[in-house]
Structures are given as structure tokens and as C-alpha cells.
Amino acid sequence: MTNPWIAALTALFLWWFATGAILVAVRLAERRGAAARRNCVLLALPVLFLGLWGYGATLSQTGTGAAYGAFLAAIAIWGWIELSFLAGAVTGPNRHPCPAHVAGWERFIRAWGTIAYHEMLLAGVLIALWIHGHEAVNGVGLWTFTVLYFARITAKLNLYFGVPKINTEFLPHALRHLASHFRVAPFSWFFPVSVSALSFAVACWLERLWSAPTPEAAAGFALLTAITALALLEHWLMVLPLPDAKLWRWMLPAPKHHNTTTRPEGHHGF
């Protein structure tokens, strides 16, 4: 397990499996109604608690097992927060589509209103993890969550500013209004900035991996390199015409068909 290639493949599998598990859980709950979505989030709370416990337990530990454990703990924490978002439990005060004529700060405020609670939860957890673990000997879990956080922020900003390829196939019905806040367009100035920052992060982790003093440290840096490279790949998939949805489409149950009705346009949520 100290082999960097094994660590990278482990990160790849956990990324794919965790994403698929969340999508399956949300799709199954959606077919059973709003109460099932709430129950799905509540029943998954042990995953969050185990992640928080694992994060704290591995901070003072070294070794290969501690690196893998910290990485898995960060994925568990992140996964529960994403589940709560996709299930519609922790989103934002604005649940209205964005009118086509809205632009500028009004559009930004409306878009922020759709995800405000989710973003504040993520930021709060990130701050708590840093307060608790910034001086720990094992920083794999902390840096894993940090990479995921900043990669998610840049991904959302790219969706807001505009990218050529936006996949809304897996958006649950309760979050369909989010698509109206995205912009399909040639990528903006922010895309090269974000991919350059992620590329620099990958290079930094590779340098740490190359100069790692022990095989155990190399495994930790390999995990961080892989998860950062996957975040970089997700950004490139916003502009490259690749069928990335096929990675999970085959494993998802058919969505429940909803009768769509036009909702009155409301305020931006504040």
C-alpha cells in the first residue's frame, strides 16, 4: 500500500465510487418523495460522524494506514455534505429559476442565494478542520478537504461565468432551478486562472511525492496528487467534449418523471 501508484488508484476508485454512491442514494430517494430525501440525509449521518472521528484520530498518527485513514475520513465528511446538498436539505434560500434578463450583481446575488447555506457549511467545516489540525503531523485529511473545497469553488465560478459544456443530467428535480444560473458560453478569463492554479497544485504535490523521506509520506502525497489531478480533470471536462456522464449513468435507476409547472418568479432569497 506504500506504492504511489496503488495510492493514486485508490484515490481514483474512491472518487468514482463515492460519487456514484451519492448519485444512487439521491436518485432512489427522489423517486420516493421529499420525506425520503430528508431521511436519506439523516440516515447517512453516521458517515459524517465516522469521518469526523477518523479525521481527529489520524491527526497524531503516522504511517501508511494513517494516511489512507485520513484521506478516507475527509472523503466521508465531504461526501455527506454533498449528499445533503443534492438531496435538497442544505442548499440556499433561493429556489427560483433565474430570469433570462437578469445580469450583473443581481444575477450573482440570485446565484449565491441558491447555494448559500451549502457554501457556509463547507466554509465552516473547513475552518474547523484547520483550527483543529493545522499543526498535526498527519495533514493528509486536512489537505484533501482543502483541495476539494477550493476546487469546488472554482468549478462553481466557472459554471457561473460560462463554460462550453455543462452536464445537468444528474441534477435532482429539487435542484433543477440551478441550471438557470449556469451559463453555456466560451470559457471566460477565470477558466485558465483556475486550471493554472490546480496544475500548480498538482506540480507541488508531485514535487513533495518525489522528495518524500519515507514510503509512508509518499503514499500520502500520492493520494493528494491524485485527488488534485482529478479536480483538474473535472475542470477540463467543462470544455472538452467527452462523455464523462457515462461513468455513472449505467449504475443509476431511472429518474422519476415529474410534471413540470411554471413557478412565479420570486426574489433572490435575501
77-131 pLDDT, tens digit each: 999 999 999 999 999 999 999 988 888 889 999 999 999 999 999 999 999 999 9
- Is 260 within the bounds of a domain? no
Percentage of the chain beyond pLDDT 90 is 67
Confidence band, pLDDT 50/70/90 cuts, at residue 71: very high
The mean per-residue pLDDT over the stretch 34-52 comes to: 93
Strand partners, 184: 163
Contact 138, 63 (CB under 8 A): no
- pLDDT given at position 8: 92
Count CA within 13 A, CB hemisphere, residue 4.
17
Give the residue, 95 or 251, on which the prediction is more confident: 95
Separation between Cα atoms, residue 143 and residue 24, nearest integer Å:
27
Three-point CA angle 52, 53, 58, nearest 5°? 105
Return the SS3 of 23: helix
Given a cut of 60, whether residue 11 has pLDDT beyond it is: yes
What local confidence, expressed as pLDDT, does residue 255 receive? 66
Whether 233 is in a domain gets the answer yes
pLDDT band at 252 (very low <50, low <70, confident <90, very high): confident
What residues have CB less than 8 Å from 216, skipping those under 6 apart? 2, 62, 63, 64, 66, 67
| Mean pLDDT (whole number) for 158-184 | 88
C-alpha angle 197/199/200, rounded to 5°? 65
Q: Could you tell me the residue range of the domain that residue 103 belongs to?
A: 4-249
pLDDT tier at 234, thresholds 50, 70, 90: very high
Is 259 contained in some domain?
no
For the chain, what is the domain count? 1
User: 255 lies in a domain?
Assistant: no
- For residue 131, being part of any structural domain is answered with yes
Cell of 238: 467543462
Indicate whether 225 belongs to any domain: yes
Is the pLDDT score of 193 beyond 90?
A: yes
Asked if residue 99 belongs to a domain, the reply is yes
Asked, for residue 125, whether it belongs to a domain, the answer is yes
Q: CB–CB of 216/2 below 8 Å?
A: yes
Mean pLDDT of the chain: 89
